[in-house]
Structure 1
Amino acid sequence: MSEEDVVRGERFAGGPARGFLSSLSADERIFAADLAVDRAHVVMLAEQGIVDEETAGEILAALDTVESDGHDALPDGEDVHAAIETAVVEAVGPEGGRMHTARSRNDEVATCIRYRLREDLLSALEATLALREALLARADEHAETLAPGYTHLQPAQPTTVGHFLLSYERALARDAARLLDAYGRVNESPLGAAAFAGTPFDVDRERTADLLGFDGTVDNATDAVSARDFLLESVAALAALATTVSGIAEDLVVYSNRGFVELDDDYASTSSIMPQKKNPDTLELARATAGDAHAGLSGLLTTLKGLPRAYNRDLQRATPHAWDAVDAVTDAVDVAGGAVATATWNEGALADAASEGFSTATGVADLLASHGVPFRTAHETVAAAAAESEADAAPEYAALDAAAEDVLGDPLEAYVDREAVEAALDPAESVAGRDSPGGPAPDAVAEQLATAEAELTDDESTVAAARDALAAADDALHSEVTDYV
């Protein structure tokens, strides 16, 4: 080898850009994933006769040592994949390099990301299920607890705490469904695709997928190493979940301000100067997490836009957006679940507020409409009565009767009994009368609770089965490794 060749060989061995290229520190997150991927690949190579069993055993034993020593003991490297391989070669000798046969870092890293991300998605799902469970428990407890309902933050119609909480549980059920859909597409193995064009070695991609607990493989080799749409889908689902949690947090912060709900001390703090203060700090941070998740999604989209096919180093900058989002959102969901489960609802203040702002006006208009008055005319009649009443107070019967004379030309009793009108003015009666599917009446809420509880049970079973499948695959892989070591 000439001196010129040696110089060329050293050209990429060092320099000021090495640190910029390195992801070794950030790769600690996928350290365990890489070890699992290495083990599955070596077991498959031995089974296929590509690497002899003795060499496979030495490599697998070295990987055990790398695992016990931990990420911090790895030699310097461009990334965790190269560092682990270096450690194995140092332990085994040149034969240790056979672990990289029929593989590229491209398919290796793509597999590691999916391997770790699916665990994180299951954690996010478990937090979401716990929040849904807390919402359902409190909704059942407060199915008949009167509460004010708002649109545009203005008093609108009376409802119940149970009906309000169920509205968020239903949104979270859809968030869980999106996460489960994303999980299904994450849980496919790219391993065996090599750099982007496959390998001449007789690899068994289905075998490594099975050893790692994946449901199948990403068929096309170029797609397998290029695709990061699974990151986009996951972070988009997390951003949607964070948006729902932000809404829960906002409502609880506002309701806390109005004295409708008191957060447990574990989810609040006091002022550094004002000793009487109780601040909903944890929920304010949970509310802000939506910004983190949305930023991660935007960062991912921007990084991935316009990349040429196959592997590009830009992808190294894409993955942290997903890690940051799943960590922040899972923590926010956990906090929201704890806050909901331990909050105390002030039933007296809620009942008082339920009648503010003539919140039963729509019920009176509906009553007139059900007795032959066109709804728009009924709306005009009730609005006229409201205009003559004191602010935030329901009009007296006499005011409604006078409005009917002005707008309809007849007294109210020409259309509906006085007792029915007075019942419609009562917030509790107003709620009880809205028993259509999805409404706040106790029977309607009971039906919604039954549906939601059944769906939650199904989702819990699905997530538990996914956890069990990953654990079983991990046990099976370690059993196979034991045969060689």
Structure 2
Amino acid sequence: MDESNADSVVRRDRFSGGPARGFLSSLDADERIFEADLAVDRAHVVMLTERGIVDDETAESILDALEVIEAAGHDALPAGEDVHEAIETAVVERVGADGGRMHTARSRNDEVATCIRFRLREDVLDALEATLVLRESLRTVASDHAETLAPGYTHLQPAQPTTVGHWALSYERAVARDTARLLDAYDRVDASPLGAAAFAGTTFDVDRRRTAELLGFSTVLENAMDAASSRDFLLETTGALSTLATTLSGLAEDLLVFANRGFVEIADDYASTSSIMPQKKNPDTLELVRAVAGDAAAGVTGSTTTLKGLPRAYNRDLQRATPHVWRTVDAVTEATGVAAGAVVTAEWNAETLAGAADEGFSTATGVADLLAQRGVPFRTAHEVVAQAATDADAGGTPIREALADAASAHLEDSLDSYVEAEALDAALDAEASVASRDSAGGPAPVAMAEQLEAVGESLAADREAIADRAGLLEAADELRMEVVSTYV
């Protein structure tokens, strides 16, 4: 062992004991990035060899050791402060002192930042795939129930008739924006910090773009201090996941309310029964989906609070920031899959929905619109219909009679001088009301057909974008292992 390696061992021994060792260690939590660290080690060793910093024979020994360590798995690693140190120790145990050359021209600071980004890309791709499945489920419901009448609510009060399909597409469009936010976050995760070393770069002639290529990163973080210390990508990703979780929470709440009112029955696979009340069917998977928004919000708060006010460059606080994104991405991805399954397997009660679509004089806006189209100022038409609704509700007066009385009180002529009976009947009918709302984005069949076509195009584009990113990672994996095989 040469003098420099002896000094290194002495220094490590000095910091190897004490009551705080367990508190400092992240080895157990680092199991998630075990494979990522091996990939980073391989890419770094290949680059060092290509640059003439490490000789071919040493590279072969190190890369061979990494293969053995990978086969043994994370649980076989020796004790260490983190997975990075434990893998390096295992390499040195197999190779000897030359194994320590693996760490030439890098720090754990840039190493761990690279490993986190490497693994997080895969997790974000999984979350993105889950959003596509949910959107497909919602599109299926929208297509199958484009003309299934349903009540529409504002403030949870009957408002206007709509369709189940229109409701489903409202969530598909929201999840599409969640897909876009995650794609944006992915592209900022997809940048390599490797080669930044502790934070001030290195005196060695490294090729940062080569390691980025071998790891499938689309770009390099140019400033070394930024590369080693920044974790804004964690906060952005957690925030995008939290927004998705909020969308899921609303979807779950709607389905829970609809199930309560008999509009929909959740499939048994997404429900449970009571331990004491045998008649109960509880859609409780959706309650858990709803609750995940709280978990995700906690991830955002935890990340933000940990990162707030940290000085440049590296601080050990960052070790506590990363678990927030792991917990959040796991919870939200799982909840997205559950929501997709619950939506697509649900059974909608068309008869009950149609009855509810007529409740609360839900076609009132259509009647006001009809009067406005016949020359009555809309605000006056609003007053006429509002008065009729009040009279019908209070005295049980039939709505047509109430409208005639209100028109006499507010208009110069009788109601039938403005609106023919046939047109009024259509305005009062829920199905005809929906069919009349054919403006862009409305629930009318013609408008729904346009929306479904646009949704199909959007899904195809996002599917291609996700597949392209996944393909680049697969290609990089193949390239890295192909290059490694020339040494091992």
Which category describes the TM-score, using the shorter chain as reference length?
Answer: over 0.9
* Residue identity opposite 2:299 in structure 1: G
Residue number among 372, 377, 383 corresponding to 1:369 in the alignment = 372
Compare 8-17 and 363-372 and name the one that shifted more: 8-17
1:29 aligns with 2:26: no
SS at match of 1:389: helix
CA distance in 1, matches of 2:423, 2:103: 81
For 1:55-108, what per-residue CA distance to the aligned partner results, in whole angstroms no more than 9, with x for missing partners?
A: 000000000000000000000000000000000000000000000000100000
Q: Quick one: which of 51, 55, 77 aligns to 1:52?
A: 55
- Answer yes or no: is 1:397 the counterpart of 2:361: no
Asked if 1 retains the 8 angstrom alpha-carbon contact of 2:306 and 2:317, the reply is yes
Whichever residue aligns with residue 260 of structure 1, its letter is F
Matches of 2:16 and 2:357 in 1, distance apart? 72
Does residue 153 (structure 1) correspond to residue 159 (structure 2)? The answer is: no
What pairs with 1:86-485 in structure 2 (closer than 5 Å)?
A: 86-390=89-393, 395-485=398-488
- The 3-state SS of whatever aligns with 2:220 is coil
Q: 1:242 to 1:472 in 2, by over 3 A?
A: same
Query: How many Å separate the matches in 2 of 1:401 and 1:78?
Result: 82
Cα distance in structure 2, aligned partners of 1:392 and 1:322:
58
- Paired AA for residue 145 in structure 2: H
SS at match of 1:50: coil
**Separation in 2, partners of 1:43, 1:482:** 10
CA contact (8 A) 1:182 1:233 kept: yes
- By how many angstroms is 1:402 displaced? 1.0
Amino acid in structure 2 at the alignment position of 1:202: D
* Residues 370-399 of structure 1: per-residue CA shift (max 9 Å, x gap): 111111110110111111113798943122
User: SS of the counterpart of 2:162?
Assistant: strand
- Which letter does structure 2 place at the counterpart of 1:269? S
Structure 1 spans left out of the alignment, 5+ residues: none
Cα deviation per residue 1:152-180 (whole Å; 9 max; x = unaligned)?
Answer: 00000000000000000000000000000
Q: Which amino acid aligns with 1:190?
A: P
Contact 2:262 2:349 in 1 (8 A): yes
Cα separation, 1, equivalents of 2:187 and 2:38 = 23
Moved more, 346-355 or 381-390: 381-390
Shift of 1:413: 1.2
Assess, with a 3 A threshold, how the Cα gap between structure 1 residues 421 and 47 changes in structure 2: closer, same or farther: same
The percent identity for this pair of structures is 70
Spell out, residue by residue over 1:381-433, the C-alpha distance to the aligned partner (whole angstroms, 9 max, x if none): 01111111137989431221111001114211121111111110000010011
Contact 2:391–2:397 at 8 Å: present in 1 too? no
Shift of 1:467: 1.1
Contact conserved, 2:182 with 2:241, CA < 8 A, in 1? yes
Contact 1:139–1:165 (Cα < 8 Å) also in 2: yes
Residues 77 and 169 of structure 1, relative CA distance in 2, 3 Å threshold: same
> Residue 219 of structure 2 aligns to a residue in which SS?
coil
SS in 2 for 1:390: helix
Aligned length: 482
Counterpart CA distance in 2 for 1:251 and 1:177 is: 23
Q: What is the SS of the residue equivalent to 2:359? A: coil
Q: Partner amino acid for 1:339? A: A
CA contact (8 A) 2:389 2:399 kept: no
TM-score where L is the length of structure 2: 0.97
Q: CA, structure 1 residues 392+163, in 2 after alignment: closer, same or farther (shift >3 Å)?
A: farther
**Residues 358, 393 of structure 1: 8 Å contact kept:** no
RMSD of aligned residue pairs (Cα, Å): 1.5
- Identify the residue that residue 44 of structure 2 maps to in structure 1: 41
Helix, strand or coil at the partner of 2:242: helix
1:475 & 1:297 partners in 2: Cα distance? 35
Q: In the TM superposition, what whole-angstrom CA distance separates every residue of 1:175-198 from its partner, at most 9, and x where no partner exists?
A: 000000000000000000000000
Letter in 2 for 1:131: L
Is 1:81 aligned with 2:87?
no
TM-score (norm 1): 0.98
In the TM superposition, residue 460 of structure 1 has moved relative to its aligned partner by 0.5
Q: Deviations over 1:32-56 (max 9, x none)?
A: 0000000000000010000000100
Verify the 8 A CA contact 2:249 2:291 in the aligned structure 1: yes
Q: Contact between 1:358 and 1:395, CA under 8 Å: does it hold in 2?
A: no
Structure 1 residue 8 displacement after superposition: 8.0
> Please, which moves more after superposition, 414-423 or 356-365?
414-423
Deviates more, 1:402-411 or 1:57-66: 402-411
What amino acid is the match of 2:351?
G
For 1:272, give the aligned amino acid: S
Q: Cα 1:394–1:200, aligned 2, differ >3 Å: closer, same or farther?
A: farther
Cα distance 1:314–1:457, how it changes in 2: closer, same or farther (>3 A)?
Answer: same
Per-residue CA deviations over 1:191-212 (Å, capped at 9, x if unaligned) read 0000000001010000000000
Aligned to 2:68: 65
SS of residue in 1 equivalent to 2:161: strand
SS in structure 1 at match of 2:201: coil
Gaps of 5+ in 2: none
Contact 1:358/1:394, CA 8 A, preserved across alignment: no
